[in-house]
Chain A
Amino acid sequence: MSQKLKIAFYWAASCGGCEIAVLDINEKILDVVKIADIVFWPVAMDVKYKDVENMPDKYIDITFFNGSIRNSEQEHMAKLLRKKSKTLVAFGSCAHEGCIPGLANLNNRDEIFEQVYVKDKSNVNPKAVMPKTTTTVKEGTLKIPEFYDTVKTLGQTVDVDYYLPGCPPPVKLISNAIDAIAQGKLPPKGSVLAPLKAVCDECPRKRDNKKITKIYRVHEKAPDPDRCLMEQGIICMGFATRSGCGAQCLNVDMPCTGCGGATPNQPEVGAGMITALASILGIDKEPGQYTDEDVEKLMNQIKDPVGTFYMYSLPASILKRKVMKK
């Protein structure tokens, strides 16, 4: 390679875990430095927003963008970095599908403000003061970005070239992506940079193709460490979730919750999971012997289906958000 690649990292509405995942590649970061110059990384380097604005369009070869789009400032940066980058990678679950903070789409801005600034038990706020985008104080004017009603993924905001899934993306997937970039072997645009298999395919647990009649929550049952959790009645999203993580959560006897996003043949994790559940949930009685009530009783054992099946993917799902009354 005659010239070094120009790479950028940016974060929007995220927790910082994706930045830590980049540090977790440890010595591999030296490989990155060998093939690339990091031209923009706000948490680690002194490159300013203005410098990015002054870059020619498509100046950056690859931008890794983590976090979802929650306010006006993040939307602005997503658009700017799209313009300045040849390739834009949605890095991690927030940018990919909206992740856990995307569950805020079950509420709107007013409801969130009401809870956080008024109802929260430790608040002492009798006048119900709430943040405003522009505030006049005695010395001058203070401005903060506008908080949107809806959390959006990066792909719903700008055109995205690749997705690196996971919360955070597993170190192995980050390393593989770096190698693919170094060798110029990136797959076709729009690809998810992860294996085509499901978490179940990486999980060593034994499956007996048993039907389940009762659903247990993780605190209600200590599972057999060698058998499939789903077949023991504990909802595990591994069926419908893309692998690449090495089934880490299963290693400590906890179910997959779906951070890797949907497997390639599914439109979305939630729909995939509901389909899978339909085939495994069973009733002891013979067909024709059970009533609608029996079926309903079984289904009612699944508490908070939205929060369970769309824990990481509500903004990207066909549901997107709760429809709010005007």
Chain B
Amino acid sequence: MKEIVIDPITRLEGHGNVSIFLNDKGEVENAYLKIPELRGFEKFCIGRRAELMPQLTTRICGVCPVAHHFASVKALDAAFNVEPPSAAKKLRELMNCGYYIYDHTLHFYYLGGPDFIVGPDAPAEKRNILGVIEKAGLDVAKEVIKHRAYGQKITAIIGGKATHPVCAIPGGISKALSEENRQEIETLAKSSVEFAKFTLKIFHDLVLGNSKYLDLIKSDAYTMNTYYMGTVDAKNKVNFYDGKVRVVDPSGKEFLKFEPKDYLKHVGEHVEEWTYSKFPYLKKIGWKGFAYGPDSGVYRVGPLGRLNASDGMATPLAQAEYEVMYKTLGKPVHGTLAFHWARLIELLYAAERAVELAKDPEITSTNIRNKPGTPGEGIGIVEAARGTLIHHYTLDKDAMVKDVNMIVATTNNYPAICMSIRDAAKGLIHGGKVDQGILNKVEMAFRAYDPCFGCATHFAVGQMPLTVEVFDSNKQRIQTLQR
């Protein structure tokens, strides 16, 4: 048996590591994605003051603190049995839109997008933000830096700080939005709509206009028919902040639709010895190992999961693009690389929705907090950029935290990411032959998910350098590849 270890930098470093095992014929036998880190929030949050949870849990992930902030405070709203005023909910949703603008921009231009914009076969040193600038031009780069910052600015205005905001309190939000700040957010959001349209145009020109890329998106190595999960509104349109959780089966048919409070009936977590992260699955089907199709409980979340699990987008421009994607690729889309397209449709939706909310007359209302009731148990769900995010707390009579359970965005995708890597390796590595181009393409399989194991622990925010070691059946290293 040969073993290939794909490591961010090496075995001793980074925050995720892939081992690929080859059989005697040099074909891929199996692959493992190990998460080497744990921090233990579920334990050390016990005993803390309940109202601190929205701030404590932001430190699970500094890339998506806003999502944790709001999943947490929604769990507290439920635990304190208090409904926030409408304006408070709108302000939370508006800030969440700001977070999507920043985060989806970050991924498309800095992290995952370079694979397409610069090209999957381009040399590694070109497949980064600098390569994007070279291909798309310096003016584009300026727009990218500007609009990523706009998203952060919206969060900072409402949340106090962009990274690790502090505004969420059970029953509402800490501060009303001034008219001056409202106007600023409206300007930033309107500019972001134009930027999202422009980004989609780049995607159409450079990616969809190239049949080679389209074939890659549709190819077997990147295709996996799974269940999909996402939060939807009353009309089954994608919603990032609130609604019911909907799951569709691999044929696209509704399989489940549940209230956040019922998540334990539907989602379980499996534990393996070789990794610190857990493996969520649909309880109704069960954990059947790393398998897909209707008989496996594996599901996918995040941009493609949400779009597949919905009937559309709630804003006009995003809806139009949603229709184009499904007309091009069919529904549901099982091609993992389509995550990138779905992400840009969501970027457009987030910007359009931010404009709507910024223009809402109620958004500057000073009625922003209701009085919490008696503390108890509560569950809160929001859609983080990388998928469905669940916080579940039990409080004692003094509103101190007694128990915590969390299923975080990327963790939902962990079983699927493991399989995507395995399948890409199986489809691309033959006869023991491994070269740079093949490794890039294996890596693309998981970068499409925008994996942020900061959620599970945390993972590389950016592009991962790879070292690959090939071992023969006597465990002697016969080849080392680096890029």
**Residues of A bordering B, CB below 8 Å:** 13-21, 23-24, 26-27, 42-50, 70-71, 73, 76-77, 99-101, 103-104, 106-107, 111-112, 115-117, 120-125, 129-132, 135, 137, 139-140, 142-145, 147, 167-168, 217-220, 222, 225, 248-249, 251-254, 257, 259, 303-304, 307-308, 311
Contacts and interface: CB of A to CB of B under 8 A. Distances in A.
B342 interface: no
Interface stretch (B43-51, B184-192, B220-228): B43-51
Contacts of B1: 139-140
B164 A50 contact: no
A140 B21 contact: yes
23 contacts: A15-B59, A15-B454, A16-B61, A16-B454, A17-B163, A26-B145, A42-B14, A42-B460, A42-B465, A44-B463, A49-B10, A50-B10, A70-B37, A107-B43, A115-B42, A116-B42, A116-B278, A122-B263, A131-B38, A137-B30, A147-B38, A147-B276, A248-B160
Interface string B448-483: 000010100010111111010000000000000011
Given A104-B39, A112-B40, A249-B161, A167 B52 contact: no
A219 B38 contact: no
Interface residues of B, number: 103
Contact of B264 (A100, A121, A147): A121
Contact of A17 (B55, B148, B164): B164
Contacts of B44: 101, 103-104, 106-107, 112
Interface of A: prevailing SS:
loop
Contact of A19 (B58, B152, B167, B461): B461
B403 interface: yes
B269 A120 contact: yes
A115 B47 contact: no
Given A42-B460, A135-B274, A308-B49, A121 B10 contact: no
B399 interface: yes
A280 B156 CA distance: 31
Nearest to B63: A16
A113 B86 CA distance: 40
B423 interface: no
Contacts of A220: 372
A122 B287 CA distance: 13
Given A24-B152, A248-B160, A249-B160, A254 B8 contact: no
A99 B59 contact: yes
B80 A219 contact: yes
A76 B12 contact: yes
B3 interface: yes
B9 interface: yes
Nearest to B40: A112
B174 A253 contact: yes
A101 B156 CA distance: 23
B13 interface: yes
A46 B160 contact: no
Contact of B462 (A13, A44, A76, A257): A44
Interface in B378-423: 392, 398-400, 403, 405, 407
B167 A254 contact: yes
Interface string B1-25: 1010000111111100001010000
B306 to A, nearest CB: 21
Given A13-B37, A15-B59, A16-B63, A123 B268 contact: yes
